[in-house]
Amino acid sequence: MRLTVILILLMLFTKCAVGYSPTGRTDTEALIILNRIYFYGGWNLSILDDIFYIDLSKQFQATNPPFTLQTNLKQRGGYKAVIYENMIVAFGGYDQTGNTNNLLIIDEASSNPYVTILNASGTNVTNANSWPSPRKWMTAVIDSNSTKMYVWGGTSSVAPNYLNTDGTMYILDLKSYFWVVNNLPTQPMGRQLHTATMVPDGRIVMIGGIFNPNISQLDIYDTIAGQWSQKTTLNGSTSGRWSHTATLATDGKSIIIFGGVSNNTNNIDGITILNLTNYVWTSVYPSGNPPVQYPSSHTAVLYNDYIFFSFGIAGSNFITTVSILNISNNQYKWVDSYIPRGQSCIIEGGDIVGPKIRAAIYTQCLLMAFKLWIKKKSVIITAVPFGLVISSVLIIEAILQHINNDLHYVFQIEVAKFYIMIFILPGLIGEIASSEIFLQRNPVGEISGGWNFKEIIIVIMSGGDALTTLLSLLGYICLCNDLNYPYLR
């Protein structure tokens, strides 16, 4: 009995480690370094300075991503960045002094991240005249050789007149930090809050943006030839937009557009896909539970067939959750959680609800077998409250962890067992007591088939336990194939 109390107390008071809870934001970037998504700075009525990450080697629920704070650095928002040799190279944006054209080189891989700041007036800069003007809301992509960063567009203006910069392509050599300016007579008009996607053949596809949101006409920059071209697409009812994200699919054959705003829609729903073979736009509404709010000014990053959409704004609401889109096998599905490859039925430290349900199921199986073998009243009286308390603890913790969300069906099974036990417990105790009185009066107490009342009650109780345990086990087995829910693995 003491062991039971200890187990129950452990279940009640054992808690997961509390992670970092960043504020919702816009004007930030999401970047993959090894198996982490890093975020830096942004804006939420003030300029932010935190660097934090999500560890993609561990599973998590989309509504409760496990952010970890790395450190706090310079305030910065509206910048664009690429990854070079596991370092973040961020250009432009704005800080507390206004728009900037600084380069921030952030070494995130070290245990103590540090920042190197380069600007046009620095002593180690050899081509200050080629340095881009201060700007924000431009795009920056890295080439396939991971040696050059291409910066285009943006605005150098301040509210309320956000005028575009020129259409010049600025190319940064990431080895020497030397800028090359490619100013062409055929270059398109600059824009802001657009997207730029580097495709496998070395071309950069510009999509949408303020002052040129039309996505039926694409501006494309060829990094090999150093020339611009235009491509007309078939777009059907696809909306022009800005403040969206564009992600190159795993196979490199399509670009996936999500979110953003347009002249007619504050927040655009669904997914829009550009086929890079025939340049046809297709609108897709993935299966699964869609995001509660469709964002703009958010981030998107691809990792192992999952696109993680993070932060952004919907109306006046800054978003703090992550939406996860599974694009494996070109089957688009919103998923409620992320599970690393090879971990379909494994719990990784921290979370304790899953192991507790598993322990409860196995304990009930053992109790059922033990009751059938011993056939003693004391075992039954001990087992019922034990199961009752376990179910109660599981339900309370499930509700606390899933407040404002629907309970999973295995939790619903536990809820059903809980109420069944509440209603049948008095009757069971009464039947046990009456059977004991009967057996005291009639020591033989046998009925047809050689069974006595006590054994019948034990079998009925064990059968009930077996049924509920079977339901739980079936639910648990189903969960092993349900990659959208990590808590019970």
**What is residue 51's DSSP assignment?**
E
Residue 27 has pLDDT above 50, yes or no: yes
Mean pLDDT in residue range 398-413: 50
Residue 237 buriedness (CB in 10 A; 0-12 / 13-18 / 19+): exposed
State residue 472's pLDDT score.
52
Q: According to the model, what pLDDT value does residue 352 have?
A: 39
pLDDT digits (tens, 9 = 90+) for 425-448: 555 555 555 544 444 544 444 444
Q: pLDDT band at residue 129, thresholds of 50, 70 and 90?
A: confident
Alpha-carbon gap, residue 134 to 97, rounded angstroms: 11
The percentage of the chain sitting over the pLDDT mark of 90, rounded to a whole number, equals: 40
E strands, 25-158, are 29-33, 36-43, 47-55, 60-61, 67-72, 80-84, 87-91, 94-95, 98-99, 103-107, 114-118, 139-142, 148-152
Between β-strands 245-248 and 254-258, what pairing exists: parallel, antiparallel or unpaired?
antiparallel
Please write the tens of the pLDDT for every residue from 56-99.
988 888 888 999 998 898 999 999 999 998 899 999 999 999 99
Contact between residue 114 and residue 101 where contact means Cβ atoms under 8 Å apart: no
Q: Is the pLDDT of residue 409 over 90?
A: no
Longest dimension (CA), the chain: 108
For residue 416, pLDDT over 70 is answered with no
pLDDT over threshold 90, residue 380: no
Instruction: Decide: helix, strand or coil at residue 128.
Output: helix
Q: How far, in Å, are 205, 253, 283, 303, 306 from residue 247 at the CA level?
A: 11, 11, 15, 11, 11
pLDDT for the residue 366: 58
pLDDT recorded at residue 458: 54
Q: Answer whether residue 372 shows pLDDT above 90.
A: no
The more confidently predicted of residues 166 and 361 is 166
Backbone angles phi, psi at 254, to 5 degrees: -155, 160
Q: What is the pLDDT of residue 392?
A: 61
**Residue 120 reports pLDDT greater than 60:** yes
User: What pLDDT was estimated at residue 145?
Assistant: 83
pLDDT in tens, 463-474: 555 555 555 555
CA–CA gap between residue 412 and residue 272 (Å, rounded): 36
For residue 423, give every residue at least 6 positions away whose Cβ sits within 8 Å of its Cβ, in sequence order, or none.
Answer: none
Query: For 179-196, what is the mean pLDDT?
Result: 93
Categorize the per-residue pLDDT at 240 as very low, low, confident or very high, splitting at 50, 70 and 90: confident
Rounded to an integer, the average pLDDT of 162-180 is 88
Nearest to 165 by CA among 192, 197, 196, 185: 192
- The dihedrals phi and psi of 276, each to the nearest 5 degrees, come to -80, -5
Q: In sequence order, what are the residues at sequence separation of 6 or more whose Cβ sits closer than 8 angstroms to the Cβ of residue 393? A: 8, 11, 12, 356
> Which residue carries 């003693």 as its tokens?
376
pLDDT per residue as tens digits for the range 299-326: 999 999 999 999 999 988 999 989 999 9
